[in-house]
Amino acid sequence: MRNKGFLSLVAVGLLASSWSIGTVKAEGNEYDFSKKFIERQVEKPLQKGIIDSHALNQLQKEVKGSPSYSAKSFHKMGAASRSSVSSSEDFLFETEPNDEFNYADATSYEKPMIGQLLPLYDLDFHKVVVPRDGILLVAGGANSSAIDLGFAAVQKDFVENDKLVYLGSEVDEEGYEYQAYQAKGGTYYVGVLDQDNDQYDDNTEEDLYAIVTGFVDNVAPNKPGVNKVDNNDTSVTGKAEPGSTITVKSGNAVLATAKTASNGAFSAKIAVQKAGTKLAITAKDSAGNVSASVTVTVADVVAPSKPVVKKVDNNDKVVTGKAEAGSTVTVKNGSKVLGTAKAASNGAFSVKIAVQKAGAKLTVSAKDRAGNVSSSASVTVADVIPPKKPTVYKVDDNDKKVKGKAEANSRVTVKVGSKTLGSAKADSKGNYSVKIKAQKKGTKLAVTAKDKAGNKSAKRTIVVVKH
């Protein structure tokens, strides 16, 4: 090949001047229009790394293997008309007429397209379908120096927009050209012409060209959509690109992987995670492109355990015990809140309250940072305060009862020394009457009261008098 040139019909922003075509229907003048468009392009070398080495090697292998075809095979398989056979085991062959978009030959990513550029000013269009967003690769070469091959991928009617963006091209030492385009999924066309037609026509039927197309998926999937994850869940669910592989990580640890269904839904099994754990979820497509990660914080939906409460008595001004670390402990008497306090990092809590009456039932609950409330622990205020000394009325040596007042419902006991003379229960008003045998004048009686909790009062001493 002579004068190898760079060709791109849709290199947006790469024109040498401000001349722009827009949308055009060439109506039989595609060759002239394409030629003018080509001449206004500037060279744009293909940046390293745009095409991975595997894809480039495959492209080179296919296009450089094409010279093994012969003109005899081409004529036998036939470019004469669209009714002729246009493929063989190894190649596709152009079919005429194919000089307009509507008559373009269909290409295959598996086989090179072989064609002629005859007669003078022949223009061939080959249709290529890009399955999804990615890089469209086009490579070309000829078996004869009579062809100064020019080719480029274009949109139908030479429309220019961001659906097809020229990334650049390169020519190797053997004269084979490789072009790359960032393309949206859709149908495009590769236009092919001989760039030395304006000088002279030296092509023969033995002079053939080969065009090879390839596709590289370089577009990462969108971020997965992830449903809420809580500290009861054994799976992470959501939606991502269909057929992609979902990976769930906690830090550097991979918790699970799963493949998305045809509708994009996924469910990745995980062990139950602690509330507050941050999970990173990504999607990787079949080409190895990895999406940006989505971070999900494991929600706390598990209520704290019931607090453990220590004994509370009718002297206490605090309620103490243990609950979930960092939780807020609330103490109530019925619906009345007596006090709240935060449990320490070891779970210990101390809630200040007013002294409560013996027998009062207190409820104690814990609420975590997420607002989950435990079931309530109940504690009855214990009675540790002894009754006051009983009041004792006058007792003479004829009396067979000791009367007076003591704590309501307490049990009153009358003794002489260590000997119990009798006992009786005070009524609800505190009145009591204890039966005894008549005692001699001067006998000292000791009277005490003991409440239901077993607390015993100090003794009241009285001396029996003469009647």
Q: Is the confidence at residue 238, as pLDDT, over 70?
A: yes
Kindly state the average pLDDT of the residues 39-43.
56
Instruction: State the average pLDDT over residues 66-80.
Output: 53
pLDDT of residue 68: 54
**Average pLDDT across the chain, whole number:** 87
**Between 367 and 143, whose confidence is greater?**
367
Q: What is the pLDDT of residue 22?
A: 30
Q: Which residue, chain included where needed, has tokens 């009041």?
A: 391
Name the nearest CA neighbour of 412 among 399, 425, 402: 425
Is the model more confident about 7 or about 168? 168
- Could you report the per-residue pLDDT of 264-281, keeping only the tens digit for each? 999 999 999 999 999 999
pLDDT of residue 74: 58
Residue, of 450 and 46, whose pLDDT is higher: 450
Q: Given this model, what pLDDT does residue 170 score?
A: 87
pLDDT bucket at 52, cuts 50 / 70 / 90: low
Confidence of residue 3 (pLDDT cuts 50, 70, 90): very low
The strand order across the sheet containing 444-450 reads 419-425, 411-416, 444-450, 460-463
Averaged pLDDT for residues 409-418: 97
Give the CATH fold of the 308-380 domain. Immunoglobulin-like (2.60.40)
The architecture of the domain spanning 225-297 is: Sandwich (2.60)
Give residues with Cβ within 8 angstroms of 334, minimum separation 6: none
Cα 90 vs. chain centroid, distance in angstroms?
A: 46
What is the rounded CA–CA span in Å between residue 219 and residue 241?
12
Architecture of domain 30-216: Sandwich (2.60)
Q: Which two tokens stand for residue 219?
A: 């577009």
Q: pLDDT exceeding 70 applies to what percent of the chain?
A: 84
Domain assignments of the chain as residue spans, ordered by start? 30-216, 225-297, 308-380, 391-463
Least confident of 75-79, 173-177, 204-208, 296-300: 75-79
In tens, the pLDDT along 294-350 reads 999 999 999 999 999 999 999 999 999 999 999 999 999 999 999 999 999 999 999
pLDDT band at 59 (very low <50, low <70, confident <90, very high): confident
> What pLDDT score was predicted for residue 144?
86
Report pLDDT for 196: 82
Cβ(223)–Cβ(238) under 8 Å?
no
pLDDT mean over 204-226: 93
Confidence band (pLDDT; 50, 70, 90) for 61? confident
| Confidence class for position 4, pLDDT limits 50, 70, 90 | very low
Is residue 83 over pLDDT 60? Answer: no
Same fold, 225-297 and 391-463: yes
The predicted structure's pLDDT at residue 206: 87
Q: Which residues, 6+ apart, have CB-to-CB distance to 332 below 8 Å? A: 338, 362, 363, 364, 365
Which CATH code for domain 391-463?
Answer: 2.60.40.10
Mean pLDDT of 231-240: 98
